[in-house]
Every structure is written in structure tokens, then in C-alpha cells.
Amino acid sequence: MSLLAHSAEDPSPAARTGAPDSRSQLFNDSTTEHYRRSVAEGVARIADKISATRRPFTGVTVDGLSPTVAGIDLEQPLHDPAAALDELEEVYLRDAVYFHHPRYLAHLNCPVVIPALVGEAVLSAVNSSLDTWDQSAGGTLIERRLIDWTARRIGLGERADGIFTSGGTQSNLQAMLLARDEACRTALARENDPDAGIPGERPQGATTPVRRTDILPRLRIFASQVGHFSIEKAATLLGLGAEAVIAVPCGPDKRMRADALAAELALCEAEGLIPMAVVATAGTTDFGSIDPLPEVADLCARYGAWMHVDAAYGCGLLVSRRRALLDGIERADSVTVDYHKSFFQPVSSSAVLVRDHATLRHVTYHADYLNPARMAERRIPNQVDKSIQTTRRFDALKLWLTLRTMGADGIGELFDEVIDRAADAWKILNDDPRFDVVVEPQLSTLVFRYLPYPDDRDPVLSDEVNLHAREALFASGDAIVAGTVVDGRHYLKFTLLNPETTLADIATVLDLIAEHAGAYLAARPEPALSAAS
């Protein structure tokens, strides 16, 4: 019997067990109807779920949900897409945290626009990998066009370039990598030049050249004291250590103080250290504050430091009527943008932009099997040449379809609406004696806390009350707010990124917080009288 005949007569293991043929699950030209039906059913399920969602969360606990997930036998498939979706309702959809709900006010998670969801479906099905031209073709050109568009919106100039990333943490990491290697390159060239005339850098008569390992311990990064933790993480990953990051004090408005930065840079220089980079934030996570970008740019130019702007949150201003809040960003050497925050894109969609495309050489490595150097010489656009990732999703497609459907102004209108709402909510909070609000927002975050006493004479009790109120509100599922620490004390936080959130929603959530706080206070035992009394 021939091998062909044997194969035709011998049933597959799937056929012998009655299970569907695994090949029928592959998406190709012969399974398009199966794909269409399966995706349509999945879309119908999630559409029905969103339509019926009345709270942002069910309040389920870790202990409550863990047994359900642990009880799924992954060795026993269901062989039925409908059954799998039914099961998904129990382990995920029922208890998911829904960012589209107007009383989700916690983190920097936005509701997403429909054109981007269409893009997500397309990019997942085609499954392009944006590392090389021979895997992505048109996808490469679309991503490059969007990088150029963003760079022009920022004002970085004709030599600008960049790459899409998984998020702000990765974008900041890549920016700090470029800043580190540029600082090392510049310092080595200067300090190994006997005619440079730099006092105190090398002992007189020294002949041993300065090495990169001599430079690294002297590098310093300057960032706002309320800047993102990913800068310290990047310094650690880059071999500098978290101690290389100098926290620059902020003023009462939670913006980096230019005079404090100037003092830190002068001290750095006096101690023979190297100001590798200054990280200015355009939209801090807690306060939405924007550092004084023009003044930071002036100081970076004076001290030869790389200027990075972390605009992961504030990048929505690029399409906003408030664009002037970003004045000075055009002088940056690199910029982080998170489209999945203020451009209403699904996770993940981020990018890092650089003023000079030549600096991306610090992440360029060639592999003969993937992107040999001869391809660069032939000007074949392999995106892996400027990314710290290799395989990358075509996340740029979501933004492309959003811009082609809604336009930049449409996105900007949504972001302006949440900023307007935050400004109105600040007035409510500022006028409400039950609460203390920290700072008037520039963007759409509000940090505040409930006051058991109007004069906050018992801050420890205030901490307990606010921690309880947040946890109790989360457990109820009626709303979700975030928490943070300001000057050692516990505060609550609204992050407004949903244009559907109304002032009535905000007022209701404030009342709920007050109710939970009041219940906690009422349940406390009366303080015992001292013997002296």
C-alpha cells in the first residue's frame, strides 16, 4: 500500500475521537466561513455584554474567582466555540473591569473608539510582524507614515524618526538607552582628546584611555519627583542603578521646579558627574501636571543633557485645542507618546520619537537570517533596525483607521471634553467641605481625600478612612477610583478619560465615597477615656 493510500484510509486521531479536525481551526482560504461565524458570535457576545453592563465591576474577590479559573481542565477541550464562550463568561467577561463605564475613574485606561477595534480585528487576522519588510510590506509604510505624522505634530524636524512600542515603560526605556549611549559616546570622545582641556577629568600625564566602564558610574538622570517609576526601572535595566536618577523637587502645582533642576545640574557638573538626561513629564500620572518644557530645554542645552519628554498621558494635547500646553516639546531629543491613553486606542499602542534618526543606531543589530546589513545598504526598511523588540504587532493600524475615519480633530475633541470635565469636577471638589483636593488639574486627573474633620486634625484617621472608602467602593462594584500617596498621606484619585462621564456621575461617586467613609467612622469604637479624666 502506498503512503498516500495509507494516509487516506487511516483516520486521524481527531477523527477517531470524534473531535473536530485541528486543521479546520487554521485561518486560511478554506476556513473563511468558519472564521466569519466564529468572530461574529464572539462580537455579538461582547456587544451584548457591553450593552447590559450596569456597573464597572462586580466586586468579585481573588478568593472568590480563583477556584472558578483553577477548576478549568485545560487538558480537556470543549470542541465547541459556543461552549468556550459560555465558559469565558464565567471566568472573565462576567467579572472584567469595564473601562467604558462612566463610573470607572481609576487609572489611565480609556474607552476605545470603534475604528480602532476594527483595526484590531484586521491586524490580528492578517498577523503581520512589523520587524522586517518581507513580513509586513504595507504595514511598514503605514507605521512609518504615522511616526512621521506624530513627529510633525510634535515639531521635531526633518531628521526625526521613531518606532511603535508596547507602552510608555518600553518607550522610556528605549529613550534612556539612546541617551545613555549618546552620553557615553560624547564623553569618551571628549575625555580621550588630549587637546580638550577639561580640568580634573584625567590625572596629568595619564596615558590610559578612558573607557565606557569609567563613564557609566558618572551618568545621572534628572526627573520630577512625581515622574513615572519607569525611569528608575530603566536606569536599573541599563546598568546605571536606580540611584543614578535624581528626583527634582516640584512646586505646589506639582510641576518640576526649573530653579531646582538648575541647581542639581550645577552640582552634578561640580562633582565631575555627567548629566546624561533630563526627563520632563507632560502629564504626570497622579496630577496630570506638565513640567516647564521651555525652561527644561534651555537647561539641557546649557549642560549638554539629552532632553526626554514623557508625554505618555499628555500626548492627546497634540490634537487638542490646548496644544500650547506642550510648547517646548519640539526641542526634545526624544518623546514618549501613548496612543492607548489619550488617543482612545486599545492596548497596546505607543511610540518613542527621536529628533535625530541617527541616534537609533544604538539599537541597530543585524542578523543574517533576518535583517542583514546589506538590506540597510539597499535602503530596505526593516523596522527591527530601530526597535528593541523583534516580533511586533501591527498596532499602528488601529491609529491609522482611527485617523482615516474620525480625523485628528475628532480625537482631540474627545480629549478636550475630559479635560473640561475635570476642570468642572475640581470646582465641585474645591467647594465641598467634605474633601481636600490637592491641585487644580492641567489635564484630567484629580487627587483628593475625604476629611473626617474639616481641619484634618487627625491625619492618621484620614488615611484609614480613605483607604477603607476606596476598598469598600471597589468591593461594591458601583464605581472604581484610584489611590495614591501625597506627602506620606493616603489620597484618592479620579482619572477622567471617558467623555461619557458626567458631572452627575462624579457627584454620585463622591457621595458614595462619603457614605463608605461615614460607615467606617460610625463603626469605630469610641476612644477609651484616660485614667486622668
* pLDDT value at residue 202: 52
| Burial class (CB within 10 angstroms; exposed 0-12, middle 13-18, buried 19+) of 363 | middle
Q: Is the dihedral of CA 196, 201, 205, 211 positive or negative?
A: negative
* pLDDT value at residue 31: 94
Alpha carbon distances (Å) from 63 to 92, 94, 381, 474, 506: 15, 16, 50, 15, 30
Could you give phi then psi for residue 247, rounded to 5 degrees?
-80, 120
Beta-carbon contacts of 511 under 8 Å, excluding residues fewer than 6 positions away, are: none
Going through 129-196 in order, the beta strands assigned E by DSSP cover 161-165
Instruction: Say which CATH class 409-523 falls into.
Output: alpha beta
Cβ atoms of 184 and 212 closer than 8 Å: yes
Residue with the three cell numbers 516639546: 329
* pLDDT value at residue 209: 86
* pLDDT value at residue 205: 55
Bridge partners, 338 (sequence order): 350
Identify the helix (H) or strand (E) that includes residue 91. Answer: helix 81-91
Write the DSSP symbol of residue 528: P
Helices (H), ranges, 248-292: 258-270
Alpha carbon distances (Å) from 439 to 253, 261, 495: 6, 21, 14
Alpha carbon distances (Å) from 524 to 20, 473, 490, 521, 527: 61, 18, 19, 5, 9
**Residue ranges, the chain, pLDDT below 70:** 1-20, 194-207, 526-533
Q: Give the rounded distance of the alpha carbon of 503 from its chain centre.
A: 26
Topology annotation, domain 122-199+208-405: Aspartate Aminotransferase; domain 2 (3.40.640)
Tell me the C-alpha distance between 157 and 177, whole Å.
21
Could you give phi then psi for residue 111, rounded to 5 degrees?
-65, 155
Indicate the angle between helix axes 138-154 and 396-405, nearest 10 degrees.
Answer: 70
Tell me the C-alpha distance between 531 and 425, whole Å.
47
Tell me the C-alpha distance between 205 and 196, whole Å.
14
* pLDDT value at residue 280: 98
Instruction: Determine how many CB atoms are found less than 10 A away from the CB of residue 141.
Output: 12
Domain locations along the chain: 122-199+208-405, 409-523
Taking the whole predicted model, whether its pTM rises above 0.75 is answered as: yes
* Cα angle 444, 280, 362; round to 5: 125
Write the DSSP symbol of residue 343: S
What digits encode the pLDDT tens for the residues 82-127? Answer: 999 999 999 999 999 999 999 999 999 999 999 999 999 999 999 9
Q: Half-sphere exposure of residue 40, counting CA atoms within 13 Å on the CB side?
A: 6
What digits encode the pLDDT tens for the residues 358-391? Answer: 999 999 999 999 999 999 889 999 999 999 999 9
Strands 219-224 and 435-437: unpaired
Instruction: Determine how many CB atoms are found less than 10 A away from the CB of residue 88.
Output: 14
